Amino acid sequence: MTASLALLPVSNGDMTLVVLDNGQTILIDINIRGAADDENDDTPDVAADLRDRLERDEKGRLYVDVFLSSHPHQDHITGLRNHFHLGPPGEWKKDDDKILIREMWSSPVVFRRADSQNPLCDDAKAWAKEARRRVKRFRDDGFDTVPGDRILIMGEDIDGKTDDILDIVVKLDETVTAANRLKAGVFEARLLAPLPAESDEEEEELSTNESSVILRFSLAGGGVADRCRFLTGGDAEVAIWKRLWERHGDDNADWLSYDILQTPHHCSWRSLSFDSWSDLGEDAEVDEDARSALSQTRKGAVIVASSKPIKDDDDNPPHHRAKREYIDIVGGDDDRFYCTDEHWDDEGQTLEFEVKASGVVRKLAKAAALAAPALGISATAAHARQHG
């Protein structure tokens, strides 16, 4: 099994599958829209793509070892109820054939009530309900809980709501090294956010995009540790990145280093600047601290915008000025900047990087996928061959 990162084309949304060096899987967010489930629609069928990448357990259930929800927004959780089994694992139904989540990784916002300012979509409500069910299971049975009942909380909640379950809480700045409680030495993920609020005013903000979980993964490839660093931060905006740099810039800047960065908030301008683009246009300035937090590239690093195609217009996200800034971060080399939907349009397959002993390599499209648009034929029945 080759370790890999697949960034599925879900327009303005996130859906990333990390396959670890031991074959375990970590899914980060989903955005499986109705159009993607419609076989008569051209929207990439990301659910089928995901299912093709997963394995079944001894009971015939497709599963992910971990599902991380960065934050409960529609473009990060759509499709949960349609495609994932929720409830006790014993209630999984063969006819439904939904994907079992062995272990949830959830932001502590599941302990908070939705309000008029932060309404939750139905899938987000379902996530929160399932998370609370699993937390109760832990309170009842502790570490006797089985795959399908397990959960980790990414960060402590306010007001001591997580104080009695600290065994399943990952504290800020600490690392996770086990997926579904299996510690195989194949990855490490450092929790960089959500950050604690520093004021009541900030507390209001923390229930929106600023509450996104930010993790910096270090992945083994081909048996070699730390072959790929992947920084992913949901929809975290400029204030969070600025604070991260203030916290870690002097002593722990390496915690933010990456080979692959998933641009926060789908290449939004609001992740890089406090200035309004619509008011200031090209006079709007990038926040230097936030930029520094997002600039800790390792040699040859690439940046990926999980978004619809980026055009030179006022759309935001994705924002063309933000794209320019990210390209500048990777040395002005636009070959090192990817957009998930553009990649799909160009190559007809999901953008994927393989993590090997030799390093991180972009996966080439299959011959059939390349030949179809190039030569105007529907498909060719050839598999890549070994060399002679």
Least distance from other proteins to the Cβ atom of residue 371, Å: 6
Contact with other proteins (CB under 8 A): which of 131, 189, 301, 303?
A: 301
Q: Is 257 in the site for other proteins (CB under 8 A)?
A: no
Contact with other proteins (CB under 8 A): which of 287, 302, 322, 351?
A: 302
**What number of chain residues touch other proteins (CB under 8 A)?**
32
Least distance from other proteins to the Cβ atom of residue 133, Å: 41
Residue among 161 and 366 whose Cβ is closer to other proteins:
366
Residue among 105 and 258 whose Cβ is closer to other proteins:
258
Least distance from other proteins to the Cβ atom of residue 308, Å: 21
Least distance from other proteins to the Cβ atom of residue 380, Å: 6
**Dihedral angle over CA of 363, 320, 297, 249, nearest 10:** -150
Q: Is 22 in the site for other proteins (CB under 8 A)?
A: no
Residue among 54 and 370 whose Cβ is closer to other proteins:
370
Residue among 59 and 362 whose Cβ is closer to other proteins:
362
Please report the sign of the dihedral spanned by the C-alpha atoms of residue 370, residue 376, residue 379, residue 384: negative
Q: Which stretch binds other proteins (CB under 8 A): 209-217, 238-246, 271-279, 293-301?
A: 293-301
CA distance 288 to 298: 19
**Edge-to-edge strands, sheet with 297-305:** 175-176, 187-193, 214-221, 224-232, 258-262, 297-305, 337-339
Q: What is the phi-psi region of residue 348: left when phi exceeds 0, alpha when psi lies from -120 to 50, beta otherwise?
A: left
β-strand partners of 337: 303
Yes or no: say if 36 and 47 are a contact pair by the CB < 8 Å rule. yes
Least distance from other proteins to the Cβ atom of residue 351, Å: 13
Q: Is 94 in the site for other proteins (CB under 8 A)?
A: no
CA distance 192 to 214: 5
Alpha carbon separation from 352 to 210, 249, 363, 365 (Å, rounded): 27, 30, 6, 9
Least distance from other proteins to the Cβ atom of residue 184, Å: 18
CA distance 91 to 102: 14
**Per-residue interface string for the shown chain with other proteins, residues 258-287, x marking contact by CB under 8 A:** -x----------------------------
**Residue 6: how many other CB atoms lie within 10 Å:** 22
Q: Is 303 in the site for other proteins (CB under 8 A)?
A: no
If we measure between CA atoms, which residue out of 354, 366, 364, 362 comes closest to residue 20? 354
Q: What is the phi-psi region of residue 257: left when phi exceeds 0, alpha when psi lies from -120 to 50, beta otherwise?
A: beta
**Per-residue interface string for the shown chain with other proteins, residues 198-237, x marking contact by CB under 8 A:** ----------------------------------------
Residue type, 216: R
**Residue 332: how many other CB atoms lie within 10 Å:** 10
By CB under 8 A, what part of segment 324-383 binds other proteins? 331, 333, 336, 346-347, 356, 358-362, 364-365, 367, 370-371, 374-375, 377, 380, 382
Binding residues for other proteins, rule: CB under 8 A, are 259, 298-302, 331, 333, 336, 346-347, 356, 358-362, 364-365, 367, 370-371, 374-375, 377, 380, 382, 384-388
